[in-house]
Chain A
Amino acid sequence: KAGVTQTPRYLIKTRGQQVTLSCSPISGHRSVSWYQQTPGQGLQFLFEYFSETQRNKGNFPGRFSGRQFSNSRSEMNVSTLELGDSALYLCASSSGSGGTWDTQYFGPGTRLTVL
């Protein structure tokens, strides 16, 4: 089975711009979660989608949004970029069955640099 794929792998943007990141989950997985990783804050949960619906949301401003398509692929969007948005954005997929054993498998990440 192919793993989780994320595109693009690297992005450079300037302050005030917006960006869209894409994630394709493992085949058959219906849940997609997004995380932000920075040296200062570590790994933080952004949101989780299941069957095109946002089920959970982390503590991030409304500039961060996402969506999921019928094929379970997901996108996240960050509008009005700030310098502090520079981070590694990781996407993870899981079956979405709900049990605590439902492991999240991560993609390679998108490294976003905001200048």
Chain B
Amino acid sequence: AQKITQTQPGMFVQEKEAVTLDCTYDTSDQSYGLFWYKQPSSGEMIFLIYQGSYDEQNATEGRYSLNFQKARKSANLVISASQLGDSAMYFCAMREYGDSSYKLIFGSGTRLLVRP
């Protein structure tokens, strides 16, 4: 079974508008972390935002915020005021703390294209 599901292979957004990238996850661990990364065409994975399973507040980092709904097991990334430089692949990832593993489990990604 997929542990991280990103159902949007590709999305378009108009410059300066907000966009939501979906991510659902599956785990039986009580303690886990959720991460979003951005991968431009250059290939480097850029860390954007983190949400811990015990965090009560939704994480925010500048124009990025994470809409964390624990009961629904979803961790959607919201990008406000989109910029042309936001065009990239976006990956949702999870780390389960149960086995103390550092393994990040990634979704298949969403390709975002920002239109001028």
Contacts and interface: CB of A to CB of B under 8 A. Distances in A.
Contacts of B37: 106
Please tell me the size bucket of the interface on A: 20 to 34
Interface string A23-60: 00000000101010000001101001010000110100
Interface stretch (B18-26, B38-46, B78-86): B38-46
B30 to A, nearest CB: 11
A103 B50 contact: yes
Contacts, number: 67
A96 B100 CA distance: 11
Interface in B63-116: 91, 93, 95, 97, 100-109
A90 interface: yes
Interface in A86-115: 88, 90, 92, 94, 96, 98-109, 111
Interface of B: 31-33, 35, 37, 42-47, 50, 52-53, 91, 93, 95, 97, 100-109
- Please list the 7 inter-chain residue pairs (A to B) with the smallest Cβ-Cβ separation, ordered nearest first: A100-B33, A106-B45, A43-B106, A45-B103, A48-B102, A108-B44, A109-B43
Interface of A: 31, 33, 35, 42-43, 45, 48, 50, 55-56, 58, 88, 90, 92, 94, 96, 98-109, 111
